[in-house]
């Protein structure tokens, strides 16, 4: 079972020796949600105004179903109203994170965390990490860690709580150097961004990673094909973690059943809504992930539209846990293109088609309209020893599985160890649409 069950039971004051009861968790979530609404109304001019404008928004909700009547918040709100959304004095803020949004100008969106908010994340890392690593192990961290309260720094605080140590390497700039440092560290576990860990697993010196027992792929979005490639290269356990700055970096982590991310359900409430109508969708339906924080004190988020597509799992997990799961997260909704026969093409679909190619490190995709159809111009970054001729044939074969209405256009294959970037949303893939 996921270690999140006993952790959440402890947080919400439920008995640790009995199965966590869904009704007990829901009661905790409702109580914290009402506290969050009261705090927001009392402390934040932005929320006072936004919540007052809710048509049927009661002051106190008597069930979690009432959440659907509250207004949404967005990334634009964070950009435009930042400090007006704060629910504490600026002196209580321990960390500010500024996020530039690609393709927009103007101020960055900013998120604010108190020391208690950060401690909730360290506590989640401490317990969540036990899903994939034994106590007393060393964790090699390929994530930023120089800034106080950065993700690497929070992991540095969490690991000693399970008798281990976090060796914070930082983002991968040169895969060969990172692999040498990994071998020197004798770490048993590694955490990193999917595209960056793939660059290590497919590097000529990849064997230096064979001492690893487990790998955690950490992003708001992890392609299945990348996970399988990493597991194959190192013969180790590979799990995925979902999170974004808005979730307080930690969001949810897979259990060994690998059927979705078990969520930090005492701290976060996740809804899925129809991206067009905003209507709340049932478990199992695909839509936009909407996030409400339950214990955040600095800048609580109420019905925050993430812009990412996902779905909540329906029913209990094979591991026996009742902790809610995000079953599948598949990237930005804004990066999806409608197909003429219905349906849509997302970068996630391209990831699943292309990353099984054993020589692929990363790719960029440009999308063009051709009448009602889509043409994809692709640049594939390949391992240095890739021979373009045969690789082109393999790529074309993989792309023959594109859905009807989408076809491959220009195809460039660039062998060479390109240092993989660390795009904010996990991947350096970009989609450009040229509308007529």
The residues that touch Zn ion, with contacts defined as CB under 5 A, are 2, 255, 257, 317, 319, 321
Min CB(8)–Zn ion separation in Å: 13
Give the separation between CA 337 and CA 367, rounded to whole angstroms. 9
Closer to Zn ion at the Cβ: 2 or 292? 2
Phi, psi of 69 (to 5 degrees): -90, -10
Min CB(165)–Zn ion separation in Å: 27
Closer to Zn ion at the Cβ: 179 or 323? 323
DSSP state letters, 124-147: HHHHHHTTTS-TT-EEEEES--SS
Min CB(5)–Zn ion separation in Å: 9
Min CB(274)–Zn ion separation in Å: 27
Min CB(319)–Zn ion separation in Å: 3
Evaluate the CA torsion angle 316, 318, 321, 326 in order and state its sign.
Answer: negative
Q: Angle of helix 45-52 relative to helix 22-43, nearest 10 degrees?
A: 110
Burial (0-12, 13-18, 19+ Cβ within 10 Å), 147 = exposed
Task: Please name the residue ranges forming H helices in 44-141.
Answer: 45-52, 75-81, 115-129
Give the separation between CA 297 and CA 314, rounded to whole angstroms. 30
β-pairing, 189-192 with 165-168?
unpaired
Give the separation between CA 382 and CA 430, rounded to whole angstroms. 17
Closer to Zn ion at the Cβ: 197 or 239? 239
- Both tokens of 130, joined, read 């036990």
Min CB(316)–Zn ion separation in Å: 8
Closer to Zn ion at the Cβ: 25 or 317? 317
Min CB(16)–Zn ion separation in Å: 18
Give the separation between CA 258 and CA 136, rounded to whole angstroms. 24
Closer to Zn ion at the Cβ: 14 or 172? 14
Closer to Zn ion at the Cβ: 233 or 255? 255
Closer to Zn ion at the Cβ: 2 or 306? 2
């Amino acid at each position: 079972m996921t270690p999140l069950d006993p952790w959440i039971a402890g947080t919400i004051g439920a008995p640790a020796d009995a199965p966590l009861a869904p009704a007990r968790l829901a009661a905790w979530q409702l109580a914290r949600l009402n506290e969050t609404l009261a705090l927001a109304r009392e402390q934040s001019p932005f929320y006072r105004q936004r919540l007052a404008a809710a048509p049927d928004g009661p002051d106190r909700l008597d069930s979690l179903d009432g959440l659907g009547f509250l207004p949404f918040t967005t990334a634009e709100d964070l950009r435009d109203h930042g400090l007006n959304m704060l629910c504490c004095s600026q002196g209580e803020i321990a960390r500010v994170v500024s996020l530039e949004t690609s393709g927009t100008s103007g101020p960055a969106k900013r998120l604010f965390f108190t020391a208690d908010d950060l401690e909730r994340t360290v506590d989640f890392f401490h317990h969540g990490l036990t899903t994939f690593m034994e106590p007393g192990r060393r964790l090699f961290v390929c994530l930023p860690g120089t800034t106080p309260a950065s993700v690497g720094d929070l992991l540095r605080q969490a690991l000693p709580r399970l008798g281990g140590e976090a060796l914070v390497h930082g983002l991968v700039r040169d895969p060969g150097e990172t692999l040498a440092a990994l071998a020197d560290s004798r770490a048993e576990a590694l955490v990193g961004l999917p595209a960056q860990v793939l660059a290590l697993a497919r590097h000529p010196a990849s064997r230096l990673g064979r001492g690893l027992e487990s790998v955690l792929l950490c992003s708001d979005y992890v392609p299945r094909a990348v996970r399988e490639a990493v597991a194959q290269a190192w013969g180790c356990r590979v799990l995925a973690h979902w999170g974004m700055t808005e979730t307080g970096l930690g969001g949810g982590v897979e259990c060994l059943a690998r059927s979705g991310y078990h969520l930090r359900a005492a701290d976060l409430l996740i809804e899925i809504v129809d991206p067009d109508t905003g209507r709340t969708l049932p478990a199992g339906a695909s839509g936009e992930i909407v996030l409400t924080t339950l214990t955040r004190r600095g800048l609580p988020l109420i019905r925050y539209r993430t812009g990412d597509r996902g779905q909540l799992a329906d029913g209990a997990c094979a591991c026996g846990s009742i902790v809610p799961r995000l079953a599948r997260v598949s990237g930005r909704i804004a990066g999806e293109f409608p197909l003429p026969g219905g349906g849509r093409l997302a970068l996630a679909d391209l990831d699943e088609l292309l990353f099984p190619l054993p020589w692929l490190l990363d790719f960029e995709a440009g999308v063009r309209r051709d009448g009602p159809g889509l043409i994809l111009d692709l640049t594939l970054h390949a391992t240095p020893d890739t021979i373009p001729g045969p690789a082109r044939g393999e790529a074309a074969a993989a792309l023959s599985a594109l859905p009807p209405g989408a076809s491959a256009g220009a195809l460039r294959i660039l062998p060479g160890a390109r240092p993989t970037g660390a795009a904010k949303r996990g991947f350096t893939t970009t989609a450009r649409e040229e509308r007529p």
